[in-house]
Structure 1
Amino acid sequence: MKNLKNWKGLIYGIAYGLVSRAIFALEDFRGGNPIFPTFGLMTMSFMFVVPFVVGLITAYHQDSITSSRKIAAITMPVFAIVGLIGISVLSGHEGIICALMALPVFLFMVLIGGLFGVRIFKRNRKKLYVSAFALLPFLFAPLENQLGLTDKIFTEHTTVEIDATNQQVWNNITRVTKISEEENNHSLFQFMGFPRPIEAELDTIAVGGIRKAIFARGLFFTETVTKVERLKILAFDIKADPNSIPPKALDEHVLVGGKYFDVLEGKYEIEKINDSKIILHLTSQFRLSTRFNFYSGLWSKLIMKDIQENILDIIKQRSEAGQNSSR
């Protein structure tokens, strides 16, 4: 029993986090009437307030945290939030992408909550205090919802230098034949669970042409060509129907074309240096609609940059090898 008592703060912290996640997840983020007015997981209330309260509860129930051993004030809240995320991922209720994106802010907020709890509960350990804090995310959620979502458009630009002619590069951006496992780079976005690129098909190289970008696990985007300058520019609008995306292709909170995230445009530009060297530019625009775009934008730009660099590297390899993707 003594050993169990030493871990009760951790157990209560994880339990509170799991219960809170279940309640916030009750609302269907794709629409419909909310079962409970928490307005989903992609809220400040869940992302910031819940881990803060997990830290408070861990501090309240952990006797060692309120002692002079300050290391416990750091380790127990951290273990609680890692346990919460780990259980959510292993149970299939959360994807790796969202778990990794949430981890830094969860760790920061749970530490703040734990240290704050040490100070207030050392002076007063009334259950009324911790009970009031436990209700904080659910009281804040309806107030937060009055603010609405904020749309923000981001642009990501990447480049690569290629030792090839502009014709060779042009052939490899207009039509991308099937990408083999040997060509594919196992980069960050694939580790996080985003499907790898397979191929891209373009019916005609002209404004209004339809380009279909195909990814693993049944994911595809329909792209409409908006600008063509032969051997120089290929630009296109990107459309994704969230209802046509297979359930396991993407984590539901980063669903392309969904409530929170969408990719809007893409553009290749070939900058000719000389007859055998070019710089290939790839620029994309994407939308974020969250109440913490300042944070989710950092992750989104990182992932988009990684995706674009992977695509450019494949084009570079093929162009420099003299491989021609035109059909």
Structure 2
Amino acid sequence: MYLEHFAIKELPFSLTPNTEFFLNMASYHKAYNMLMVSISNREGFIKVVGEVGTGKTMLCRKVLNTLEENPDAYISAYIANPVLSPKGLFLAFAEELGLEADSDIGHHSLLKKITKVLMQHSAEGRQVILFIDEAHAMPEKTLEALRLLTNLETEKAKLFQVVLFAQPELDDMLREKSLRQLLQRITFSYRLESLDREGLERYVSHRLATAGYNGPSVFASAALDDLYAASQGTPRIVNILCHKALMVAFGRGERVVTREHMRNAIEDTEGVALPQKNVRQFAAAGVFMVVACVALAIYLVGYYLR
């Protein structure tokens, strides 16, 4: 692997949501602050949406890690795969709360168990937050069951909060008449945006530095231009292409990732391509270089034959 070649301690562009690589850029900083303030204010439903690969799970893990630093005040429950029936969701929530419940338990008994532990946490001053990743994949009936479950409350506050992380398809679902009551429960909402060109460069440099790199820029500016054009600033695609481009450069014994290395990475990645404009510009530059080299060769031949 290229770690030793580039003097890096660990893979800088792994797809695993390692919060040590979290970059506190404007969009993520605002989202993180919004989540922490909303949680501290005990808001009912909170929603964060973003396209595939924009860093929703990373943000979720960052918030979870922050809350886990204060276990006397917060109890976090996390459901990564919400493709569940209403009862399946309740069972998953119960498990996250540390409850033991058989799959054949009755709905009323299960709800009673959940209510009891939520009341206990509330009485002891602990706030329970349920985080649901990929919430757009939840069946409509399960979303409605979740809304009904949040009716559990004391005279002063809800017994737990819900934070939904989802692709924009969730917004389409919530506009359906059958889910209008859930839509009205969402008190805070945020949309994660992709990186801009400047943000992409900071993102790449940050991940390399976090991985232990300390030296001049590894990626040539032209390589980053193509990276941005092909990825449109989507962090997951950026990670995939950077990892591949580093492998190409390593394979050729070079310590700087050039535009050619990045283009090799792009061509090797399914579903990713450069806009035609960039390809034409690169081709034109290539033609210019060929013409220039031919002209230089003709000049040199003529010079030495004089």
Smaller-chain TM-score bracket: under 0.3
Q: Identify the structure with the greater helix proportion.
A: 2
Structure with greater contact order relative to length (CA < 8 Å, sep ≥ 6): 2
* Bigger fraction of residues in strand: 1
TM-score by length of 2: 0.25
Larger C-alpha radius of gyration, 1 or 2?
Answer: 2
